[in-house]
Amino acid sequence: MGKQKPGIKRACDYIAALKKENDATLPPIRSLAKSAGVSFVTMWKALKHLESQGCIISDPQGNRTFSKAAIKSDPHKSNPQSQLLNDCTPSSSRHHVTEKIYKDIVTGRFAGSERLPSYKELQLQYNVSFATLKKSLTSLVEQKIIEPCTNGYLIPSLTGNTGHARIAAIGCGLEDGKIWMDYQDKYYFRVLESECIRMNIQLDLIVYYRHQGRLHFVHTASGKEYDLNDRTILGYIFIVANLDNTPEEVLERLAALKRNVAVLDVVGGWKIPRCARDNQLIQFFTATASVLPAKRVAQYLLGKGHRKVAFFSPFHRALWSQQRLNTIREMFTRADITDGVVAFVYNKYAYQWDYLKNHLPQEALLSFVNHYNQWRSQTPNTPLKKFNHIGYSMFKYITQWNCASGEIYEKMQPLFDKALLDKSITAWVMANDFAATIAIDYLKERNIRVPDDLSMISFDNTLDAMEYQLTSYDFNNHGIITLILRSILAPHTVKPRRKGVLIEVDGTLVIRRSC
């Protein structure tokens, strides 16, 4: 906020007085607005301001309670590193509804080439009057986000007559064309491919690597050098998952082509290079590296009454892990809880394969496979034929996943032991779902029940989170990929980023049994 308006100050003062009388759950916004003598929108702004300061905590059901932080009327001045599409301060109810509908369209809630729902359905969905809804839709027509049609509105197709064209998605990789990313980061390519198939857009998956001082771009399907200058390429999507592999040089190459470029930063903390700062053809996005997910997790924990939690990360060299810990600590401090977050982390590692860089595990794996091959040569072949190349598959599976898990478990176990000694810790916050599954297995071995004895919460919302009934933050990968594709295919429909700011899409904290 800029200079605070008198109405918002009056609303904040009323809530502060209410806190002195009662620390229970706050009444609905309409009741608060009526009692304070302000409008619904003014009270909504005041509550959002107090939530950002950590003075009020909201749970997923929309209930608001007071935290221990003192309520101040002056706005909290922040310096956000990312631009949240739906985290705006509406000047009116109409503007707020317009922003919500806009966000739902550009993140794929309503598919392209389809009609919007009827007026009645939209009124119920956004809880607005017909007049306000009509003005919001008219505003979106003026912005060319939707088009009027018979008995309603149509979302224009993003592809148009571009069936002959294609998009190039680029990530760091190896000389053989294989992508060099962890499983979670590769998932963005999978979602991207699915959306391109749905839109009938050809997607070229490209990896870059450096060899003999020269940057190479290779098509993953053909393994041949890729021509980035091909005129049929509509734009480029650059997924930055590893800062060790010269992403600045890649971006300089793409900027020189003078076509639309979308950069997805999944590392966190990557400063926008000089070549892209004033380039309107380049848009920067973030998802897993945002501060918002950790803020939502911290608010949820505070709302559940947790006052001391442990944060675990086997990948704390990664900037996204550091950002999650720092944000959760900041939220607890805002709630006037000192030393509320205890860190148990390894700063040496950023990826799973970092745990396999010493030679002893590799030698042990080779010995294991050699024993397997010897056993196979001495065993009748008939029963083994149905397994085909089981030796290669076994080696690949073990090295890429199980052995890394074993190394991580062995190193994390002393940290888990130490955390259990502090009986005041009521919840474990895991850096991601992978670390959470290791922690749950550890607790099961010691007959410690989740959540009866200890709560647990995590990030990523992978399949493991569902299987382990783990409360986890879903980053809305589909939404961010849809928005990125829109920035390439219909850039006029995506609001340009502010200088030095990354665009992000709000996700969801999926509540399950663990917390």
What confidence score (pLDDT) does residue 346 get? 93
Class for the domain spanning 93-154: mainly alpha
First to last CA, the chain: 33
> Model's pTM, two decimal places?
0.71
| DSSP class of 356 | G
Instruction: Specify the CATH architecture of the domain 292-353+402-474.
Output: 3-Layer(aba) Sandwich (3.40)
Which percentage of the chain shows pLDDT scores above 90? 32
Identify the burial level of 370 via C-beta atoms within 10 angstroms of its C-beta, where 0-12 means exposed, 13-18 middle and 19 or more buried.
exposed
The Cα 453–Cα 444 span in angstroms is 11
pLDDT tens by residue, 145-168:
888 888 888 888 776 555 567 899
- Fold agreement (6-78, 93-154): yes
pLDDT at 35 over 90: no
Which percentage of the chain shows pLDDT scores above 70? 77
What band does 80 get if pLDDT is binned at 50, 70 and 90?
very low
Write down the CATH number for the domain with range 6-78: 1.10.10.10
Diameter of the chain by CA atoms? 87
Range from 24-38, 135-149, 303-317 carrying the lowest mean pLDDT: 24-38
Beta-strand relationship, 147-149 and 152-154? antiparallel
Task: Note the residue count of the chain.
Answer: 515
pLDDT at 424 over 90: yes
pLDDT tens by residue, 85-118:
444 333 446 788 888 888 888 877 887 667 888 8
Range from 304-313, 371-380, 384-393 carrying the lowest mean pLDDT: 384-393
Asked whether the beta carbons of 141 and 147 are under 8 A apart, the reply is yes
Pair of tokens at residue 209: 């690597």
pLDDT tens by residue, 156-214:
877 655 556 789 999 988 877 788 777 677 888 989 999 888 888 889 999 998 888 88
pLDDT tens by residue, 296-317:
999 999 989 999 999 999 999 8
Is the peptide bond between 451 and the residue preceding it cis, with omega within 30 degrees of 0?
yes
HSE-up of 371 (CA within 13 Å, CB side)?
A: 6
Domain ranges for the chain: 6-78, 93-154, 292-353+402-474
